[in-house]
Amino acid sequence: MKFVNSTAICCILLISLVSCSNGFGNLTRKLKDQQTSPSIAVTSKDGMDYLGTVNKVYSAVPTGRFVTGQVIENFYGHTVKFEGNLVEYTSIKQEVLDYVENLKNNNALMHQHYEDIVYDSTKKYVEFSSYTDVKSGKILCFEVRVFFGNFLDTYNESFWYAKSVTFNSRFTKDIDNNIAVNFGEPIGNSEDEDLLDVDENTSESPSIPEKQEDKINYDYINAIGKVARIYSTHNVDVRFATGQELDYNGKKVRFQGNLVEYHSVNAKVLDIFTNIQPNALHHQGYSNFVFENSKIYIEVCYYEDVVTGKIVEYELRYTVNPIYEKIEKGEWQPDEWYAKSFSFTDLSELEE
């Protein structure tokens, strides 16, 4: 699977958690309601136009496991449809641009792959994404990923090459940081102000499912090497974790990931990673993890067809040491990849 010519972008689904992972509370202040008559739901085009003067819109190539049209379950308690476009702007509303540029660090990359991009240094580029509630048909939020400089070059050089902020559908709230923003007259309808807000005193909070089954594939894990310990995760309050069901090239698949500590790894597996440069992060977090310098760590993942039960793809993410020591010491930088990702469809590829 490739996004912008790099398997790294497969971890977009992890990286996207960084930009949309904070909780939602009530706004500390409300902007003046905009009265609209009749009430018309906001669209993705409305959102794109709100940001600035659109010059060109690129659509994504329909490959990979996270693409336009994909239905994501349990997105903050909602089932949503994801849509994304790379938008070339002649100009962007200065208030929005200043807000995004003032983020401390780059924190994202492209969700998906776009072809035939012609970069123009006089233009601004934004991956503009929307998350639409399948039940109500309303857009819950817009995600704005602003690229700085020639991202066609920089994506090969640093992992985080964009700054991402998620706003509500009226552009009156920064959802990531749970604060009100003021970019001038909002769009949309006042009743759609807080579609993702959660009032902890009501019974209408998004429901988080119980811990989902940890379906460890021992044959797969043991085919890689001599196992010392297997770590699991149940981060069901995010949109990409063990037990999560995804739309994968038209098939509904279940994601399974385990961080495996190995005493040793088969030579064939090590050979595979020899010519792969660090290009990924872990998909998810693992609790109670204890790093041992003498061990080898690989995130062992697979994608299982929900209907047939067959595995449609395997993925290994080999951890590059000494990343855990750097993280513990606070020396790891957000633009530093710490894993080598390799995807395949047949376990025989690991046979020596």
Pair (135, 185) in one structural domain: yes
Report how many helices (DSSP H) and strands (DSSP E) the chain contains, helices first.
7, 14
Whether 198 maps to a domain, the answer reads no
Q: Is residue 184 part of a domain?
A: yes
- Convert the pLDDT of each residue in 1-50 to its tens digit: 333 333 333 333 333 333 333 332 332 333 333 333 456 788 999 999 99
Q: Is 252 helix (H, G, I), strand (E, B) or coil?
A: strand
- Beta partners for 302? 256, 314
Residue 209: predicted pLDDT: 40
Q: Is residue 159 located within the same domain as residue 233? A: no
Domain's final residue, options 176, 192, 208: 192
Query: What is the number of structural domains in the chain?
Result: 2
| 200 in any annotated domain | no
For residues 186 and 224, state if they share a domain: no
Is 305 found in the same domain as 174? no
Residues 233 and 181 in one domain: no
Report residues of the chain scoring pLDDT below 70: 1-39, 61-66, 154-160, 197-213, 234-240, 287, 321-322, 334-335
- The long-range contacts involving 272-279, CB below 8 angstroms and separated by at least 24 positions, are 272/316, 272/342, 272/349, 273/318, 273/340, 273/342, 276/318, 276/340, 276/341, 276/342, 277/340, 278/320, 278/336, 278/337, 278/338, 278/339, 278/340, 279/6, 279/7, 279/8, 279/337, 279/339, 279/340, 279/341
- In a shared domain, residues 24 and 167: yes
**Secondary structure letter of residue 293 according to DSSP:** T
185, 224: one domain: no
Q: Among 225, 227, 266, 260, which Cα is nearest to 339's?
A: 260
According to the model, what pLDDT value does residue 199 have? 39
Q: Which domain holds residue 17?
A: 7-192
Indicate if 180 and 242 belong to the same structural domain.
no
Is residue 132, in this structure, part of any structural domain at all? Answer: yes
Pick from 69, 83, 84: which is nearest to 250 by CA? 69
278 in Cβ contact with 338 (< 8 Å): yes
What integer pLDDT is reported at residue 242 of this predicted model? 82
Task: Please report the pLDDT score of residue 301 as a whole number.
Answer: 94
Whether residue 296 is contained in a domain is answered as: yes
Q: In the prediction, which pLDDT does 159 show?
A: 55
Give Dmax over CA atoms of the chain in angstroms.
Answer: 69
Same domain for 261 and 163, yes or no, is: no
299 neighbors 257 (Cβ within 8 angstroms)? yes
Q: Does 207 fall in a domain?
A: no
Residues 179 and 235 in one domain: no
* Closest C-alpha to 64, from 9, 107, 132: 9
The reply to whether 310 and 275 lie within a common domain is yes
Number of neighbours of residue 193 by Cβ within 10 angstroms: 19
Tell me if 342 is assigned to some domain: yes
Alpha-carbon distance of 10 to 63, in angstroms, equals 11
Backbone angles phi, psi at 324, to 5 degrees: -65, -35
For residue range 82-101, what is the model confidence (pLDDT) as tens digits? 999 999 999 999 999 999 98
Q: Which amino acid appears at position 50 of this protein? A: Y
What single-letter DSSP state applies at residue 114? B
Q: Give the domain-ending residue among 158, 192, 226.
A: 192
The pTM of this model reads 0.54
Let me know whether 167 and 271 are in one domain: no
Q: Within a domain: residue 2?
A: no
Give the side-chain half-sphere CA count within 13 A for 224: 27
Rg, Å, the chain Cα set: 21
Give residue 74's identity as a one-letter amino acid code: N
